[in-house]
């Protein structure tokens, strides 16, 4: 007997016994089909919206932007269709657009002139570097927009690593001093959230201590607590100019993609050291990590839909293999379903316009 007919027969038998007044253990069970039809709630658009378990809003979005030197200047990132590097004046225009679209925050990343890169990443400590210029200019025009600054040395080092090298080894403890200097420069420029992405041990605690000592007690830290050594970062490194500079790989400090329990240890340590919120990176390949972190700690949890994820969807849509608008929204609601409180995504302005139009 087919399983669907069997369930109908069992339901009818329960009803028959009930009518006869015969109590049984089966009668406590909820009836199945046809009393329950799951499609009833899916029948109309208004009903689907009414019973939706998760919803994506503009307030869930963080827009990553890339800044370059110059004025009224834009350059395309070839591996990220639709994404451009912008001079500081145009970054201000983008920030105003974010406010108009109800996007609560932007994340600022620099394209550093190779001539300014050195072994120690000293441009990271320059109060006049591109990031600091952009932060000051944006805050002057749109002070209520949140600004997130990346804390790591890779946009500034000649070797492309997030930390300082001692021979061929990343020197964790010496790097902490540099990250503290970079953090103070950024927060003094007006950054609201510092986002350490370097994955050095102890960096959250070192930055938090320095912020407190310097009187920046309200500065927030969004730690890249679970950042994996992923192949999905390639286009981002093109955008910041670090792809050609990178010598070797980052597996000695970024996490092994095979590990999940380790991510919980990383998050627990960063919370204890003073992180206000945490991030999982990349996004879609690590939805299980997002879910575990949110369930375990209940701390504000963010996901980064990284450059490779964006490029992959854009390439498929550009070739007509996928419906670009639909997969864009579907990919973002997946983060909400997994438990993310917000998403860094290059789709942010496009999604916000779509949401503003009521989809």
What is the set of active-site residues? 227, 281
How do strand 74-76 and strand 84-87 relate by DSSP bridges? antiparallel
Report long-range pairs for 55-58 (Cβ below 8 Å, ≥24 apart).
55/336, 56/329, 56/332, 56/333, 56/336, 56/351, 56/355, 57/355, 58/101, 58/102, 58/103, 58/104, 58/351, 58/352, 58/355, 58/356
**In a 10 Å sphere around its CB, with 0-12 CB exposed, 13-18 middle and 19+ buried, how is residue 227 labelled?**
buried
Burial 66-93 (b: 16+ CB within 10 A, else e): bbbbeeeeeeebebbeebbbbbbebbbe
For residue 151, the number of C-alpha atoms closer than 13 Å in the C-beta half-sphere is 33
Reading the block at residue 99, the tokens are: 């406010």
Report d(CA 320, CA 187) in Å as an integer.
44
SS3 for 62?
A: strand
Quote the longest CA-to-CA distance of the chain. 89
Report d(CA 144, CA 120) in Å as an integer.
34
Compute CA distances 123 → 12, 117, 338, 352, whole Å: 76, 7, 38, 34
Distance of CA 45 to the CA centre of its chain: 29
SS3 for 351?
A: helix
Judge whether 292 and 266 are in contact, CB under 8 Å: no
């Amino acid at each position: 007997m087919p399983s669907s007919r069997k369930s109908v027969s069992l339901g009818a038998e329960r009803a028959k016994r009930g009518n006869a007044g015969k109590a049984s253990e089966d009668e406590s069970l909820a009836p199945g089909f046809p009393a329950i039809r799951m499609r009833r709630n899916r029948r109309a658009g208004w009903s689907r919206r009414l019973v939706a378990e998760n919803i994506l809003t503009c307030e869930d979005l963080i827009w990553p932007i890339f800044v370059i030197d110059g004025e009224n200047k834009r350059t395309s990132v070839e591996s990220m269709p639709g994404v451009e590097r912008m001079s500081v004046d145009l970054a201000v225009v983008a920030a105003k657009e974010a406010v108009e679209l109800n996007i609560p925050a932007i994340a600022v990343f620099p394209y550093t002139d190779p001539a300014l890169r050195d072994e120690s990443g000293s441009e990271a400590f320059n109060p006049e570097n591109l990031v600091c210029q952009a932060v000051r200019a944006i805050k002057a025009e749109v002070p209520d927009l949140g600004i997130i600054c990346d804390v790591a040395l890779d946009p500034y080092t000649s070797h492309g690593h997030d930390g300082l090298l001692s021979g061929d080894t990343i020197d964790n403890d010496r790097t902490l001093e540099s990250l503290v200097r970079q953090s103070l420069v950024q927060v003094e420029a007006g950054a609201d959230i510092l986002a350490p992405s370097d994955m050095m041990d102890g960096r959250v605690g070192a930055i938090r201590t320095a912020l407190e000592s310097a009187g920046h007690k309200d500065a927030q830290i969004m730690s890249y607590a679970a950042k994996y050594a992923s192949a999905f970062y390639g286009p981002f490194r093109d955008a910041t100019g670090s792809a050609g500079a990178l010598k070797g790989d980052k597996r000695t400090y970024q996490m092994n993609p095979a590990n999940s329990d380790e991510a919980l240890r990383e998050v627990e340590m960063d919370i204890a050291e003073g992180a206000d919120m945490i991030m999982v990176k990349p996004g879609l390949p690590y939805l299980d990590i997002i879910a575990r972190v949110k369930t375990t700690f209940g701390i504000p949890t963010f996901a980064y839909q990284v450059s490779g994820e964006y490029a992959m969807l854009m390439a498929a849509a550009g070739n007509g293999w996928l419906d670009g608008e639909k997969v864009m929204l579907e990919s973002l609601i997946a983060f909400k379903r997994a438990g993310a409180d917000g998403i860094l995504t290059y789709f942010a302005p496009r999604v916000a316009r779509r949401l503003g139009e009521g989809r």
